[in-house]
Amino acid sequence: MRIGIFGGTFDPIHTGHLIMAEQCREQAGLEQLWFIPAARPPHKLDRVTTPFAQRVEMLALAIAGSPAFQINELERDRPGPSYTVNTLEELHRLHPATEFCLVIGADTLADLPNWHEPKRVLELATLLVVARPGWPPPAVEGPLASAIRCHQIVQVPLIDISSTDLRRRAAAGKSLRYLVPRAVECYIETHRLYRPAP
């Protein structure tokens, strides 16, 4: 089985994430794509994120009706930062016969040498590199290039939506319509997520 791994904070998940996931599924011939929300993103340890359970609930609302998409809560109870290498090693232990493909943006590819154990990440997963708005066509260069077992470029419509901007919009009481799935928009409104404390 060939499974895509899409990790991230998903705070909140948005339309850009879903378009990226669907194009990766289709172009890379994935049987399934697993969204793996990070419990403690290593690059965001200095800021407060929405509770893990609520981010999972928004993910579930967003992918309802898409049988090829699943949520994997592997990182929920793991202590310490949510390093990709640890997640991939655990997935291989649980599913030894599965080929895993890691979805990353072109901007993330440029930062890959700074990841925790990047060479091991490349041994454990095929990279699905997605073009991102404002970034040049993705290229693999430098000392890590020889460690890459395989990578595939995934072409997607360049829709520039960021979770950071969505949180700012929600905090300012601005519309999220069409930027997130309608069910996620209602969830954010109902739970007053991202609003300033009264």
What is the C-alpha separation between 144 and 79, in angstroms, rounded? 28
pLDDT of 135: 66
**pLDDT at position 181, please?**
98
Give me the mean pLDDT over the 28-40 stretch.
Answer: 95
Report pLDDT for 137. 62
Q: State pTM to two decimals.
A: 0.91
Residue 72 has pLDDT above 60, yes or no: yes
pLDDT digits (tens, 9 = 90+) for 113-168: 889 999 999 999 999 989 766 666 656 566 676 666 567 888 888 888 999 999 99
The arithmetic mean of pLDDT across residues 5-29, rounded, is 96
The residue with greater pLDDT, 71 or 138, is 71
The whole-number pLDDT of residue 8 equals 94
Domains and CATH numbers, the chain: 2-159 (3.40.50.620)
Asked if 88 contacts 121 with a C-beta cutoff of 8 angstroms, the reply is yes
User: Which residues on neighbouring strands pair with residue 34, listed in sequence order?
Assistant: 5, 70
- Give the C-alpha separation, 34 to 57, whole Å: 15
Please give the pLDDT value at position 82.
85
Q: What is the pLDDT of residue 148?
A: 65
Q: How far apart, in whole angstroms, are the C-alpha atoms of residue 173 and residue 157? A: 28
Query: Quick one: average pLDDT of 37-57?
Result: 85
Q: With helix as H, strand as E and coil as C, how does the chain read?
A: CEEEEEEECCCCCCHHHHHHHHHHHHHCCCCEEEEEECCCCHHHCCCCCCCHHHHHHHHHHHHCCCCCEEECCCCCCCCCCCCHHHHHHHHHHHCCCCEEEEEEEHHHHHHHHHCCCHHHHHHHCEEEEECCCCCCCCCCCCCCHHHCCCEEEECCCCCCCCHHHHHHHHHCCCCCECCECHHHHHHHHHCCCCCCCC
| Top-ranked range on mean pLDDT: pick from 101-115, 124-138, 172-186 | 172-186
What average pLDDT does range 68-83 have in this prediction? 92
Mean local confidence (pLDDT), 67-96: 94
Q: Which of 22-31, 98-107, 165-174 has the lowest mean pLDDT?
A: 98-107
Q: Which residues contact 156 (CB under 8 A, 6 or more apart)?
A: 19, 20, 23, 130, 131
